[in-house]
Structure 1
Amino acid sequence: MGMMIEVNEVVKDFGLIRALDGVSLTVDGFKTVFGPNGAGKTTLVKVISSLMEPSSGNVVVDGVDLEEDPVGVRARIGVVSHETYLYDRLTARENLVFYGGMYGVDEERVDEMLSVVGLEGRRLDRVEEFSRGMKQRVSIARALLHDPQVLLLDEPYTGLDLKAAEVFRNLLARLEDKTILMTTHNTERGLELCDSVSIMIDGKIVFDEEVGEVDVDEFKERYRRLTGSATHD
């Protein structure tokens, strides 16, 4: 694997609102960051992916400092969000060809990735005809186009039915060579594949452990107590 994400004392302020409050974490494998809506999870992903500058602190990806070389960091990262940001009136293939052009990816790679996510038979169909789950599969194909070693997954299961969620989970299981940071508030899905877990509340990391050191039932109860929410949301 070799790739590592290091987040060091990152603060992000929006006026008087502090969305990230001294966040530090290391990702070397598959880490899931749990937290309720508004905890700062999406802001964290945006900072790591260079879509948003931190107010202070720094991010390092595979030894490359985000502030010093944001282009170098972006080349190492693929992002899958709960918002797919696909062009509905384009076909699945056209979406990927357009995006791949930014990275100099050839069309053979586009077809390969559509096959990986099981959409080769729908590659010429417009995205507007796709279910939520199919759109998310196009989104992960797009994220993998330039063969990044780091994947950032921001609430990727949101809006997926059980079948689509299982398809997506099986796709993730095949990406064990990647360094993955996933955010979610769903403990069932979030604990399935990761090897370390964190809990974020009000912009702070309040829990950070390896999965092997965590009792699942105790973790769910701790999460419920910290957030005041049901663990299956």
Structure 2
Amino acid sequence: MIDIKNLTKQANNKKILRGVDLQVKKGETVAILGPNGAGKSTLLKVLATLIKPTSGIVRINGLDLKKNHIEIKKILGYLPHSSLLYDHYSPLENLVFFGNVYGVRDVEQRAMKLVKDVGLSFFLNEPVKNFSRGMIQRIAIARAIVHDPEVLLLDEPHTGLDQGAISILNNVILSMKEKGSTTLMVTHDFKQAAEICDRIIIVKNGKIVDDFKIKNRNLELVSEKYEMQMEGVS
């Protein structure tokens, strides 16, 4: 589903990504861990077609990122640090708007279901500008999946969420997985990575320094692997 070969990104004479190689199969849920400044968000932005790579090859669902970025955008769902919501719109209005952009059928019914799925039915018609950070994050998640994307790119999706909202988000991600979606999730939350992901990659200084599968929600394995890499042990 995602095939990355020797991907580099340089900005202002600074190398942010240094020869990233990564293959992700359809339906995989992959967590991307690493310290601040490692290049995690930059990698997602390249995949989301928001910034151009300096060099390398990226294919998503067989489509070349440089030649087919418009087609690729149609199958992506992207959640950055900002919500991308219109704050004077209600959750329903936001989701209907973005659903129409993607040509979603029965868009109002789809929007209402998603608002219910993220636990905010009571606030269906309230302006988003009145919402807490966690409530905005829930609607932003719904926005990212309104069109049932084949690939889901999540940049620290658990930020600002309480425990109940974290459970809702995890259920949403797992339900997308059941539909066959492929998910890449940048996170600092090892527990959530262990809970919902099949695989972990660790990024350091713009390179992937570890890549391993995870079973049985083994949080201890994730922590140990991460600490080894941060200490420079291979």
Q: Structure 2-normalised TM-score?
A: 0.89
Residues 216/145 of structure 1: CA separation in 2 closer, same or farther (3 Å cut): closer
Cα distance between partner residues in 2 of 1:220 and 1:52: 31
Deviates more, 1:78-87 or 1:11-20: 78-87
Which residue of the partner structure matches residue 41 of structure 2?
42
Of 213, 224, 228, the residue aligned with 1:210 is 213
Counterpart Cα distance in 2 of 1:72 and 1:154: 22
SS in 2 for 1:45: helix
- What is the CA-CA distance between 1:17 and the residue it aligns to? 0.9
Structure 2 unaligned residues grouped into runs of 5+? none
SS of alignment partner, residue 16 of structure 2: strand
Query: How much does 1:213 deviate?
Result: 10
Amino acid of the structure 2 residue aligned with 1:185: H
Identity %: 40
Q: Is the 8 A contact 1:82 1:157 kept in 2?
A: no
1:98 has 2:97 as partner: yes
| Contact 2:85–2:94 under 8 Å retained in 1 | yes
Give 1:169's aligned residue.
Answer: 170
Map 1:9-48 → 2, pairs under 5 A:
9-28=6-25, 29-48=28-47
In structure 2, the residue matched to 1:142 is 143
Rounded to whole Å, the distance in 2 between the matches of 1:194 and 1:65 is: 26
Decide which moves more: 69-78 or 88-97: 88-97
In the TM superposition, what whole-angstrom CA distance separates every residue of 1:14-61 from its partner, at most 9, and x where no partner exists? 021111111111122111111111111110000001001000012111
Question: What is the SS of the residue equivalent to 1:22?
Answer: strand
The runs of 4+ residues in structure 1 deviating greater than 6 Å are none
- C-alpha RMSD of the superposition: 1.9
Displacement after TM superposition at 1:216 (Å): 4.1
Match of 1:183 among 181, 186, 194: 186
- Residue 120 of structure 2 corresponds to which residue in structure 1? 119
| 1:61-97 Cα distance to aligned partner (Å, 9 max, x none) | 1111111110111111101223212122211112122
Q: Distance in 2 between matches of 1:166 and 1:145?
A: 19
1:119–1:9 distance in 2 versus 1, CA, 3 Å: same
* Matched residue SS, 1:79: strand
Q: What is the identity, as a one-letter code, of the residue corresponding to 1:173?
A: L
